[in-house]
């Protein structure tokens, strides 16, 4: 077990190295002039470009620039973000809680709903329950996240005037900015900070702002989970051990829940890594449309404004998330399936 | 001898893409109390479907569409036959694994790979002996030598007292849903596991206490088959159905398992319905034999009579295809293939391959006739 | 029963399975309509600028969308671009994106996967480590990084997605090949002295191609979604280009109408958006039907 985790952490270093080389390589396809231009803020400074190139060594060979950059990153300096107008590292911790908050609310719903609907659909194969859930899943799968988010906004914000975009209502945001001493941001997540500060109105307001993003996200992501669960159930229910259980006198519920569902969960665990990737992509669209300033919004904004240090930082972060998710999933897999031992 | 199981004109069809597969065409057989009935035939002739229909565990897209499956569970009461096809699913659940149980062909697939052996064996007890076990635990709890912290003992006594009256009471069901309260079952599960260890031990498996903690992939094929048998025998069934129980095992293990079955039949179970394509196994273990071909039962007789005096042309061909030490003739094979059961041949389904086919054969299906005492054949020759 | 070539019989059975499935019928009919619109785009909506037909014609520069009328049957979006024209030519854009991205990604992925799976050894190891690294970053994020490096534009979006998309195919085809490689018929061909290339092309690929087909059809949808999102963010098609994602972006500020009539500008979002959804739905329905038809565990009942 320990050896397994160590090996995975070594893999993490390899992946991070690979990701950084890849990204650095991609960004190095810029000419030195273009990269220097991002430091320039006014037309008058344009004549300084050659000087900037010289100063930062932007025309040095690839590996020299890479190791120079690497050294800074290891020191904890990720660079300066134009979009956030502050150091990348600092800005990251500012944006991260917003994304995390949404995912914390959405993930359990996706998992529980997906497994439940998939099981139901697999048990009642080829009945109306199955057909309805499948149609819903495939339609959900076909909805582009950003478009669905826009339509929800149109209906619920425009027509019913229920939920507004953003993270918190303007009044409360202004209040927090004006009175920093009465509201401490422990976690950066308003729902939790509201409770910790005893300001339940803030928690409620933040929750109301989460309704649309979370529902968008759940409807789009749940399809994959459900589909895998369904085919897993169908496959497991056709296996011989189900008949053994039947011959033992097991009732339907025991067969479905105790025998088949546990085994059908294995493929779900396998695709859960994909699910995490999918939800990261989904959070970009959701945050852009609902104007929630989290990691996804930051990334999209940085891509438009050519904010390269941010792109690097987020890609490295995604690499870390990817490896850690897979590590967790492998452990979970071994826990469910006794045939697998981690060594 | 008294009848234990009787099927009357059992019809089972499978609705597939190619069409309706008429897997069973009016199968009627009788298994007596205390006997071993062998069902033989080529693969795909409907042996497994027959027993699965008896147990009512035919999988999708199969459907049992006609006939009767009558069981006489009590040897003395000959009138009290129950038609299983008319019973509710709940009744069947209480019957399966308790009075009638089944062993499957492929021991590697028959066990759930993610549950421990102990879990899978003790399930049988939890399904069928819950009340009895609760009563036993209750008595143990009330016994003076029970050393338990007094309030806990009192609570457990109350719960198990209630459970021994009715283990499926609504209040217990509610308790089972509540996270902490559902721990009352711990003692029950422990008792079930103890019984599981007992039965595994009885089947001659070394280290039963260790085996129950293991998972199917830790055990060898023969071991797994013993576990499958243990599951089937857990509640001392009246009828054990062994569906090709030994076909996928090594010859030595096969012999051990057969020996085990024979021993168990004398000690615990009353009757065995043995399905096999191996005539040697039939000759060794069975009292009575039924020969199946393409969804039909074509000949039923006592084992000596069948091997000594086979009447149906198919039975003869089948026996001629078995290698024998004494005879130096060339082995005969049966011409042609098993018919496609979507479009079975009209009349007797064997007629296209039959060496003694007559004009009447392709027209109507021959009825089962008793040509001698206890020897039935479905053929126009007799 | 007449004897048919087994592959032909299998193929017929597969076709039967596919077309017994209502989702396939809906999917193929939707696709048929879209293909017709794309093919006859010049006839349905004659271009105003023949040298650059993908540029949407517009009368005036008013930012407020106008409802459907005699001249603009679907209305105009922000900037007075004709929605009908944009939708029709946007169909071509969508096909262009899907076919280009999926074609290149599948070709590269299948080739690399086949080589890596069949040869094994160092080649396999190296290729798999590279894919491991690329896997660590979600498609959209990596595509964004590439677009930032290459510059904006629909062509860059397509190249970026193709550069990212192949990794799926590598893994799928490789695992298929690993199971096929040790099977008897491949071993038999090897013993008979059939060349490696021939074994891959004649024996392995035809058997491993089904998952690729399923994935390609699902990918057509998801790549069009991703491309339209990139256009929506402003990294893809330029303003006024007939692209559904770009048209949604144009109308983005008009999702909420004036007080009293909050859904006034629905057409500017719903019409191009609906096209994206239906287009993607068509491919997903086909992919779903293919999956049902090809999955050996779910078929044959």
pLDDT digits (tens, 9 = 90+) for C111-138: 998 888 888 788 888 888 888 888 888 8
Report which of C50, C100, C93 is spatially closest to residue C241, judged by C-alpha positions.
Answer: C93
The residues facing B372 across adjacent strands are: B375
Q: Give the Cα separation of B353 and A306 in Å (integer).
A: 80
Higher pLDDT, residue C299 or A291:
A291
Report which of A303, A307, A312 is spatially closest to residue A20, judged by C-alpha positions.
Answer: A312
Residue C105 predicted with pLDDT over 60: yes
Q: Give the Cα separation of B21 and B343 in Å (integer).
A: 8
Task: Mark B234-244 as b/e (b = at least 16 C-beta within 10 Å).
Answer: bbbbbbbbbbb
Report which of C253, C266, C256, C268 is spatially closest to residue A158, judged by C-alpha positions.
Answer: C256
Hey, are the CB atoms on B98 and A249 less than 8 Å from each other? yes
DSSP code of C53?
T
Average pLDDT over residues A117-129: 88
Dihedral-angle region of residue C160 (phi above 0 means left; psi in -120 to 50 means alpha; beta otherwise): alpha
**In a 10 Å sphere around its CB, with 0-12 CB exposed, 13-18 middle and 19+ buried, how is residue A174 labelled?**
exposed
Taking contacts as CB-CB distances below 8 angstroms, the residues of chain C near B345 are none
Q: Give the Cα separation of A102 and A211 in Å (integer).
A: 9
* pLDDT of res. A296: 92
Start and end residues for every CATH 1.10.3720.10 domain found in chain A: 86-336
Supply A169's token pair: 């209502």
pLDDT digits (tens, 9 = 90+) for A194-204: 888 888 888 88
Using a CB–CB cutoff of 8 Å, tell me whether A304 touches chain C. yes
Contact C139, A145 (CB under 8 A): no
Contact C117, C212 (CB under 8 A): no
Average pLDDT over residues C35-62: 85
Q: How confident is the model at residue A211 (pLDDT cuts 50, 70, 90)?
A: very high
Using a CB–CB cutoff of 8 Å, tell me whether A17 touches chain B. no
Please report all neighbours of B, defined by 3+ CB atom pairs within 8 A: A, C
The nearest CA of chain B is from the CA of A252 a distance in Å of 9
Average pLDDT over residues C244-258: 86
Hey, are the CB atoms on A238 and C133 less than 8 Å from each other? no
Q: Which SS3 state, helix, strand or coil, does residue A201 take? A: helix
Chain C residues 246-275 with a CB less than 8 Å from chain A = 248, 252, 255-257, 262-263, 266, 269-270, 273
Contact A36, A56 (CB under 8 A): yes
Supply B346's token pair: 């009209």
Contact B303, B282 (CB under 8 A): yes
Handedness of CA C24, C26, C31, C32 (dihedral sign): positive
Taking contacts as CB-CB distances below 8 angstroms, the residues of chain A near B116 are 338
User: Mutual orientation of helices B185-202 and B221-233 as an angle, nearest 10°?
Assistant: 120
Residue of C nearest to A234 (CA): C298
Query: C interface mutation test: which of B15, B17, B62 has the most C CBs within 10 A?
Result: B17
Hey, are the CB atoms on C136 and A234 less than 8 Å from each other? no
Identify whether C274 is part of a domain. Answer: yes
Query: C interface mutation test: which of A17, A33, A83, A147 has the most C CBs within 10 A?
Result: A147
Taking contacts as CB-CB distances below 8 angstroms, the residues of chain A near C288 are 134, 138
Contact A68, A241 (CB under 8 A): no
Chain C residues 7-36 with a CB less than 8 Å from chain B = 13, 16-17
pLDDT digits (tens, 9 = 90+) for C183-231: 888 888 888 888 888 888 887 787 777 888 888 988 898 899 999 999 9
- Alpha carbon of B68 to those of B8, B50, B88: distances in Å? 5, 12, 14
Q: Which SS3 state, helix, strand or coil, does residue A67 take? A: helix
Q: Please give the full DSSP string across C127-158, using - where no structure is assigned.
A: HHHHHHHHHTS-HHHHHHHHHHHH-SSHHHHH
Supply A282's token pair: 């989904």
B1-111+234-334 sits in which CATH class? alpha beta
In sequence order, what are the residues at sequence separation of 6 or more whose Cβ sits closer than 8 angstroms to the Cβ of residue C23? A138, C285, C288, C289
The nearest CA of chain C is from the CA of B49 a distance in Å of 16
Residue C300 predicted with pLDDT over 50: no
Average pLDDT over residues A227-255: 87
Query: A interface mutation test: which of B110, B112, B241 has the most A CBs within 10 A?
Result: B112
Q: Give the Cα separation of B127 and B98 in Å (integer).
A: 9
Supply C257's token pair: 């109408």
Hey, are the CB atoms on A249 and B124 less than 8 Å from each other? yes
Hey, are the CB atoms on B116 and A339 less than 8 Å from each other? no
Q: How confident is the model at residue C301 (pLDDT cuts 50, 70, 90)?
A: very low
Contact A340, A334 (CB under 8 A): yes
- Say how many domains are in chain C: 1
Taking contacts as CB-CB distances below 8 angstroms, the residues of chain B near A254 are 123
- Give the ipTM of the model, two decimals please: 0.87
Q: Give the Cα separation of A201 and A189 in Å (integer).
A: 14
Please report all neighbours of A, defined by 3+ CB atom pairs within 8 A: B, C
Task: Report how many Cβ contacts below 8 Å link chain A to chain C.
Answer: 141
**In a 10 Å sphere around its CB, with 0-12 CB exposed, 13-18 middle and 19+ buried, how is residue B307 labelled?**
middle
How many beta carbons lie within 10 A of that of residue A44, not counting itself? 8
Would you give the end-to-end CA distance of chain A in angstroms? 6
Report which of B61, B119, B107 is spatially closest to residue B248, judged by C-alpha positions.
Answer: B107
Q: Which SS3 state, helix, strand or coil, does residue C61 take? A: coil
Contact A336, B114 (CB under 8 A): yes
Q: How confident is the model at residue C244 (pLDDT cuts 50, 70, 90)?
A: very high
Query: A interface mutation test: which of C21, C142, C143, C148 has the most A CBs within 10 A?
Result: C148
* pLDDT of res. C107: 92
Choices 1.10.132.20, 1.10.3720.10, 3.40.30.10, 3.40.50.720: CATH for A86-336: 1.10.3720.10
Report which of C12, C23, C5, C30 is spatially closest to residue C290, judged by C-alpha positions.
Answer: C23
The nearest CA of chain C is from the CA of A21 a distance in Å of 10
The helix or strand, by DSSP H or E, that contains position B167, with its residue range, turns out to be: none
Average pLDDT over residues A18-38: 79
Supply B54's token pair: 């008896």
CATH code of the domain covering residue C289: 1.10.3720.10
**Residue reference for tokens 């799926």:** C168
Task: Mark B141-177 as b/e (b = at least 16 C-beta within 10 Å).
Answer: beeeeeeeeeeeeeebbebbebbbeebeeeebeebee
Taking contacts as CB-CB distances below 8 angstroms, the residues of chain A near C276 are 144, 147
Tally of residues, chain A:
343
Hey, are the CB atoms on B113 and A238 less than 8 Å from each other? no
Cα B50–B56–B61 angle (5° rounding)? 80
Identify whether C225 is part of a domain. Answer: yes
Q: How confident is the model at residue C1 (pLDDT cuts 50, 70, 90)?
A: very low
Range of the domain at C125: 6-299
Cα C35–C41–C42 angle (5° rounding)? 150
- Alpha carbon of A130 to those of A123, A124, A224, A226: distances in Å? 8, 6, 15, 11
* pLDDT of res. A343: 54
The nearest CA of chain A is from the CA of B377 a distance in Å of 31
DSSP code of B353?
G
Supply B369's token pair: 């006739």
Start and end residues for every CATH 3.40.50.300 domain found in chain B: 1-111+234-334
Report which of A330, A341, A314 is spatially closest to residue A8, judged by C-alpha positions.
Answer: A330
Residue of B nearest to C13 (CA): B17
**Which stretches in chain B have pLDDT values below 50?**
none
Using a CB–CB cutoff of 8 Å, tell me whether A133 touches chain C. no
Q: Is the peptide bond between B61 and the residue preceding it cis, with omega within 30 degrees of 0?
A: yes
Using a CB–CB cutoff of 8 Å, tell me whether B336 touches chain C. no
Supply A210's token pair: 């989460």
- Closest by Cβ to C140, choosing from A26, A159, A284: A284
Q: Give the Cα separation of B88 and A64 in Å (integer).
A: 79
pLDDT digits (tens, 9 = 90+) for A38-58: 666 667 777 777 777 777 777
pLDDT digits (tens, 9 = 90+) for A254-275: 889 888 888 898 888 888 888 8
Report which of A93, A79, A40, A147 is spatially closest to residue A298, judged by C-alpha positions.
Answer: A93
Q: Give the Cα separation of C286 and C291 in Å (integer).
A: 9
Query: Nearest 5°: phi and psi at B297?
Result: -90, 120
**In a 10 Å sphere around its CB, with 0-12 CB exposed, 13-18 middle and 19+ buried, how is residue A87 labelled?**
middle
Chain A residues 199-238 with a CB less than 8 Å from chain C = 231, 234-235, 238
Q: How many helices (H) and strands (E) does chain A have?
A: 15, 2
Contact B39, B28 (CB under 8 A): no
Q: How confident is the model at residue C93 (pLDDT cuts 50, 70, 90)?
A: very high
Supply C218's token pair: 């699902």
**Residues of chain B whose C-beta is under 8 A from some C-beta in A?**
52, 55, 57, 59-60, 89-90, 93-98, 101-102, 104-106, 109-116, 120, 123-124, 127-128, 215, 217, 228, 231-232
Contact C117, C124 (CB under 8 A): yes
Q: How confident is the model at residue A11 (pLDDT cuts 50, 70, 90)?
A: confident
Average pLDDT over residues C107-112: 91
How many beta carbons lie within 10 A of that of residue A340, not counting itself? 12
Q: Give the Cα separation of C207 and A91 in Å (integer).
A: 51
The nearest CA of chain A is from the CA of B23 a distance in Å of 19
Residue C298 predicted with pLDDT over 70: no
**Residue reference for tokens 């989970």:** A225
- Alpha carbon of B85 to those of B23, B54, B66, B238, B239: distances in Å? 17, 8, 9, 18, 17
Taking contacts as CB-CB distances below 8 angstroms, the residues of chain C near A308 are 148
Beta-strand relationship, B100-103 and B82-83: unpaired
Identify whether C1 is part of a domain. Answer: no
């Amino acid at each position: 077990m320990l050896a397994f985790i160590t090996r995975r952490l070594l893999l993490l270093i390899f992946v991070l190295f690979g990701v950084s080389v890849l990204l650095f390589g991609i960004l190095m396809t810029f000419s030195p002039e273009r990269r220097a231009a991002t430091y320039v803020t006014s037309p008058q400074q344009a004549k300084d470009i050659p000087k900037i190139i010289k100063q930062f060594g932007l025309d040095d060979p690839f590996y020299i620039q890479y190791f120079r950059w690497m050294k800074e990153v290891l020191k904890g300096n990720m660079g300066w973000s134009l979009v956030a107008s502050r150091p990348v590292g600092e800005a990251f911790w500012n944006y991260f809680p917003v994304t995390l908050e949404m995912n914390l609310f959405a993930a359990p719903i996706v998992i529980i709903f997906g497994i439940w609907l998939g099981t139901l659909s697999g048990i009642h194969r080829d009945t109306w329950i199955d057909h309805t859930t499948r149609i819903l899943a495939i339609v959900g799968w076909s909805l582009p996240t950003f478009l669905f988010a826009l339509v929800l906004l149109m209906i619920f914000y425009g027509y019913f005037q229920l939920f507004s975009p953003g993270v918190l209502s303007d009044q409360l945001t202004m209040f927090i900015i004006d009175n920093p001493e009465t509201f401490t941001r422990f976690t950066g997540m308003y729902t939790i900070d509201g409770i910790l500060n005893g300001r339940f109105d803030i928690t409620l307001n933040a929750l109301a702002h989460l309704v649309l993003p979370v529902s968008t996200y759940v409807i789009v992501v749940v399809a994959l989970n459900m589909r895998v669960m369904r085919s897993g159930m169908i496959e497991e229910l056709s296996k011989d051990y189900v008949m053994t259980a039947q011959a033992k006198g097991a009732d339907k519920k025991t067969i479905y829940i105790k025998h088949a569902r546990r085994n059908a969960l294995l493929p779900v665990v396998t695709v859960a890594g994909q699910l995490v990737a999918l939800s990261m992509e989904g959070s970009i669209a959701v945050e852009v449309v609902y104007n929630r300033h989290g990691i996804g919004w930051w990334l999209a904004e940085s891509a438009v404004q050519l904010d390269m240090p941010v792109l690097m930082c987020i890609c490295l972060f995604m690499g870390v998330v990817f490896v850690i998710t897979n590590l967790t999933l492998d452990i979970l897999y071994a826990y469910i399936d006794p045939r697998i031992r981690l060594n | 001898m008294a009848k234990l199981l009787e099927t009357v004109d059992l019809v089972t069809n499978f609705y597939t893409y190619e069409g309706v597969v008429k897997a069973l065409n009016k199968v009627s057989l009788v298994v007596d109390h205390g006997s071993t009935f062998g069902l033989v035939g080529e693969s795909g002739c409907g042996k497994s479907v027959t027993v699965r229909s008896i147990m009512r565990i035919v999988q999708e897209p199969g459907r049992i569409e006609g006939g009767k499956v009558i069981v006489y569970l009590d040897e003395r009461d000959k009138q009290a036959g129950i038609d299983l096809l008319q019973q509710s699913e709940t009744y069947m659940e209480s019957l399966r694994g308790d009075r009638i149980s089944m062993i499957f062909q492929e021991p590697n697939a028959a066990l759930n790979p993610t549950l421990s052996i102990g879990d899978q064996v003790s399930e049988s007890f939890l399904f069928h002996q819950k009340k009895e076990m609760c009563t036993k635990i209750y008595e143990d709890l009330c016994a003076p030598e029970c050393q338990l912290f007094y309030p806990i003992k009192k609570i457990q006594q109350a719960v198990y007292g209630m459970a021994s009256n009715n283990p499926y009471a609504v209040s217990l069901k509610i308790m089972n849903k509540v996270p902490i309260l559902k721990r009352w079952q711990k003692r029950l599960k422990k008792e079930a596991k103890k019984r599981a260890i007992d039965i595994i031990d009885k089947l001659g498996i070394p280290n039963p206490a260790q085996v129950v903690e293991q998972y199917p992939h830790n055990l060898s094929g023969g071991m797994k088959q013993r576990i499958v048998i243990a599951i089937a025998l857990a509640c001392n069934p009246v009828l054990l159905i062994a569906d090709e129980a030994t076909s996928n095992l090594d010859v030595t293990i096969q012999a051990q398992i057969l020996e085990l079955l024979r021993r168990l039949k004398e000690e615990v179970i009353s009757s065995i319905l043995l399905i096999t394509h191996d005539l040697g196994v039939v000759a060794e273990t069975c009292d009575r034999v039924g020969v199946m071909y393409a969804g039909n039962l074509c000949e039923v007789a006592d084992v000596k009579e069948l091997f000594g005096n086979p009447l149906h042309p198919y039975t003869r061909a089948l026996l001629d295809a078995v290698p024998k030490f004494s005879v130096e003739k060339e082995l005969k094979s049966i011409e042609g293939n098993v018919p496609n059961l979507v479009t079975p041949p009209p009349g007797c389904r064997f007629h296209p391959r039959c060496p003694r086919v007559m004009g009447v054969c392709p027209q109507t299906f021959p009825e089962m006739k008793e040509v001698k005492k206890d020897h039935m054949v479905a053929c126009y020759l007799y | 029963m007449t004897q048919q070539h087994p592959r032909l019989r299998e193929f017929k059975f597969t076709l039967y399975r596919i077309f017994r499935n209502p989702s396939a019928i809906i999917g193929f009919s939707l696709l048929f309509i879209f293909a017709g619109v794309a093919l006859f785009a010049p006839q349905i909506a004659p271009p105003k600028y023949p040298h650059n037909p993908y540029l949407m014609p517009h009368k005036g520069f008013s930012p407020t969308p106008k409802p459907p009328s005699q001249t603009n049957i679907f209305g105009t979006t922000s900037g007075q671009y004709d929605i009908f024209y944009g939708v029709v030519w946007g169909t071509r854009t969508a096909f262009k994106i899907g076919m280009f991205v999926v074609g290149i990604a599948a070709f590269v992925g299948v080739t690399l996967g086949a080589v890596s799976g069949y040869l094994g050894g160092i080649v396999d190891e190296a290729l798999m480590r590279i894919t491991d690294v690329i896997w660590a970053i979600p498609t959209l994020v990596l595509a964004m990084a590439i677009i930032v490096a290459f510059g904006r534009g629909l062509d860059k979006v397509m190249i970026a997605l193709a550069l990212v998309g192949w990794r799926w195919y590598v893994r799928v085809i490789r695992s298929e090949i690993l199971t096929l490689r040790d099977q008897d018929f491949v071993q038999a061909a090897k013993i008979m002295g059939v060349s490696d290339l021939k074994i891959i092309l004649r024996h392995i690929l035809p058997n491993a191609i089904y998952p690729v087909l399923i994935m390609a059809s699902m990918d057509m949808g998801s790549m069009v979604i991703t491309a339209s999102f990139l256009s929506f963010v402003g990294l893809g098609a330029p303003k006024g280009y007939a692209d559904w994602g770009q048209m949604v972006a144009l109308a983005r500020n008009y999702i909420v109408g004036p007080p009293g009539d909050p859904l006034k500008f629905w057409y500017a979002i719903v019409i191009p958006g609906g096209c994206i959804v239906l287009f993607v739905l068509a491919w997903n329905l086909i992919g779903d039907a293919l999956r049902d038809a090809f999955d050996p565990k779910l078929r044959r009942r």
